Amino acid sequence: MTRNRLATYLPTIAVAVTVLLAWELLVVAFDIQQFLLPKPSAIFAEFTFQLGLWLAPDERSILFESSGATFWEAIGGFVIGCGGGVLVALITSRWTIISEATMPFAIAANSVPIIAFAPIMNNWFGITNPASKMAIVAIIVFFPTMINTVRGLTLVDARQLELMRSYAAAPAEVLLKLRIPNALPYIFSALRVASALSLIGAVVAEFFGGPRATLGVYITQEASAFDFAKAWTAIMMASIIGIAFYLAVLFLERRLMPWHVSFREE
């Protein structure tokens, strides 16, 4: 099992190490200025410095404080948007006419550049209020979650559905014992996508303004000051948080769906 996992992740690790080494060598070879593209070693040095500040009892790291604020904005919007998407899907899938009537609007709304709503949300909730960023994240993740959940709830095996009806199963029993288990892979597929979208939405929404201690504002200000080592460090922090968030959703999926064929084959 360990060897199989190592063989699976080894190519990814090799590609990452190769890219970082090539990046470092190209910056040195072509004498690229730090304000254009800092070396990975400079980014890592800034990260370790900020980590030291964070671990020191009397110091404060603005980078880690910003990461925490952005993380909670992403989590809040993720919970609101995905929870609302699942709830609306349960309602619309119960009545086919409602599902057929609302699905085209959901697909059309999902194609709108949601980030255009950022100034509106800042005006509604206040530019420094985390709720404005949570609202943007919630809108971004709502429609993928809703659409996937509706598909999972409705695309059930007709033979299984007919079997439950032959036993006079109540609609609630059909929902709990057939439709929801069938929808779980679809829901978690949407949640994995939403985990990445939520952090992207939170950071980009902060580009339109917010407290200093948020990653989007931090990146914007450091880039404006041509301190790109700090800006890239914040980007690296956003990537680490996004990967951790994705892995947390994947872990939850494995715990709740150990019966799924994709996990049994491992």
Can you give the residue range of the structural domain that contains 161?
37-263
pLDDT score of 245: 92
Of 155 and 97, the one with more pLDDT: 155
**141 and 13 in a common domain:** no
**226 and 172 in a common domain:** yes
**74 and 3 in a common domain:** no
**42 and 172 in a common domain:** yes
pLDDT score of 83: 94
Q: 225-248, pLDDT tens digit by residue?
A: 888 888 888 998 999 999 999 999
Whether 176 contacts 117, CB under 8 Å: no
Tally the residues of the chain. Answer: 266
pLDDT at 190 over 70: yes
**90 and 17 in a common domain:** no
**57 and 102 in a common domain:** yes
**20 and 119 in a common domain:** no
**4 and 56 in a common domain:** no
**48 and 13 in a common domain:** no
pLDDT score of 2: 58
**206 and 184 in a common domain:** yes
CATH number at residue 118: 1.10.3720.10
Q: 206-224, pLDDT tens digit by residue?
A: 888 778 788 888 898 888 8
**92 and 24 in a common domain:** no
Of 106 and 207, the one with more pLDDT: 207
**87 and 18 in a common domain:** no
This prediction has a pTM of 0.83
Instruction: Please choose, from the candidates 35, 49, 45, the residue with its C-alpha nearest in 3D space to the C-alpha of residue 225.
Output: 35
Total of domains in the chain: 2
pLDDT score of 264: 47
What is d(CA 26, CA 20) in angstroms, rounded to the nearest whole number? 10
